[in-house]
Amino acid sequence: HAKAFTVGINCALGAAQMKKFYKMLVDMNLGWCHVYPNAGLPNAMGGYDEDPEIFSTNIFDYAKDGLLNFVGGCCGTFPSHIAAVANKVKDCPPRKLPELPKYPCMQLSGLEPCILTPDSGFQWVGERCNLMGSAKFKKLVDAYKWDE
């Protein structure tokens, strides 16, 4: 597979609400990451209430935690929001990329990550499971009891 230039999250949430999801993405990704949140959540009139100061303060929380490689804004953001972010994070270093191992592991994903190392042995990946056919099987899957 080609290595993605950047992986990120765009739209749907404001920066404050998006941070926990973005942090999970950053923790799983060995490459650059980006975030383009909205100016908060939509209000009753369909607009967005975060002004440039609030928006940039929320983005600064990402930068001070070392999470940013690229940042922008989506719904409800204007050039003034982006200028405020640029000013607020200008002294923050970008997220440092993790050092890659000499022989990287294969990483697959479905409902949860599957990381295969040279000593993992044989693994079933993508085996079909019919949760509708057995109530007992569905309960075991819901309880993460993979070995039973």
Known binding-site residue numbers for Zn(2+): 11, 74-75
Using only C-alpha atoms, what is the Rg of the chain? 20
Please report, in angstroms and rounded to a whole number, the separation of the first and last CA atoms in the chain. 34
Q: What angle do CA 33, 36, 42 make, to 5 degrees?
A: 150
Name the nearest CA neighbour of 34 among 2, 11, 64, 3: 11
Beta bridge partners of 36: 10
Closest CA relative to residue 74, chosen from 85, 87, 62, 89: 85
Per the annotation, binding residues are: 11, 74-75
